Amino acid sequence: MPDTIVVACDGSDASARALDFAHARAKQIGGDLLVVHVLEWSPYSFLTPDEIAERHVRRKEELARADAAIIGPIIAKYKDKGVKIETAVKYGHVIDTLIDAATTANAVEIISGRTGNSGVMTRVFGSVAGTLAQVSPVPCTIVP
């Protein structure tokens, strides 16, 4: 079974660079790519009665939007470029969900871009790439 590389994708320029890098790396090792897009979601947030009644519909819309705006262009760009690509749009906490996807797929590596925030912003809000590097169960590459 070929090795799988998980690449985090949020549709930003940084994640496009990460995807390019991951694609080249997968080609190099003869592996597959699993592109994961995470929609931030907590099952413990508070919703109004209206939001609850509409949640199922909104979820469908959000998944369709993610497919159209983020996943579709990726598949179009890398189709028939010599690497098998699978995609997944998942709800949850970004880091936990990425790690969960990597563990389930027996991935050999996680690749992510970074926004390049520094100083105060990162101190206050943390950084996905930084935390991922800290807690990833497999080797993790952060693409600048």
Partner 1 sequence: MKIIPRVATTLAALAAASSASAQSIDETVNAVFASSTGWFVNFIFAPIPGTGFPWIVAWLVIAASLFTLYFGFIQFRVIRHSLQIVSGKYSDPNDAGEVSHFQALATALSGTVGLGNIAGVAVAVGIGGAGATFWMILAGLLGMASKFTECTLGVKYRNEFANGTVSGGPMYYMTKGFAERGLPGGKFLAILFSIFCVLGALGGGNMFQANQAHEQLAGVFGAYPGWITGVVFAGIVFAVIVGGLKSIAQVTEKVVPFMGILYVGTALVILLMNVQHIGPAFGQIIDGAFTGAGVAGGVVGALIQGFKRAAFSNEAGVGSAAIAHSAVRTKEPITEGFVSLLEPFIDTVVICTMTALVIIITGQLMIDPTTGDYILNEAGRIVTLDGSSGVGLTSAAFASAFSWFPYVLMVAVLLFAFSTMLSWSYYGLKAWTYMFGEGKNQELSFKILFCLFIVIGASANLGPVIDFSDAAIFAMAVVNITALYFLMPIVKRELNSYLTRLRSGEIKRFH
For partner 1, the binding residues (CB under 8 A) are 39, 41, 43-57, 59-60, 62-63, 90-92, 100
Sign of CA dihedral 124, 122, 114, 101: negative
**Toward partner 1, which CB reaches closer, 44 or 125?**
44
Helices (H) and strands (E) in the chain, counts: 6, 5
Q: How far is the CB of 94 from partner 1 (least distance, A)?
A: 12
Helix (H, G, I), strand (E, B) or coil at 71: helix
Q: Which two tokens stand for residue 138?
A: 């497999």
Q: How far is the CB of 51 from partner 1 (least distance, A)?
A: 8
**Toward partner 1, which CB reaches closer, 28 or 45?**
45
Q: Which amino acid is at 123?
A: R
**Toward partner 1, which CB reaches closer, 17 or 93?**
93
Q: How far is the CB of 124 from partner 1 (least distance, A)?
A: 20
**Toward partner 1, which CB reaches closer, 19 or 94?**
94
Q: How far is the CB of 89 from partner 1 (least distance, A)?
A: 9
Q: How far is the CB of 95 from partner 1 (least distance, A)?
A: 14
Q: How far is CA 137 from CA 51, 56, 112, in A?
A: 36, 33, 14
Q: Where are the alpha helices (DSSP H) in the chain?
A: 13-29, 49-66, 72-78, 94-104, 120-125, 128-135
**Toward partner 1, which CB reaches closer, 50 or 80?**
50
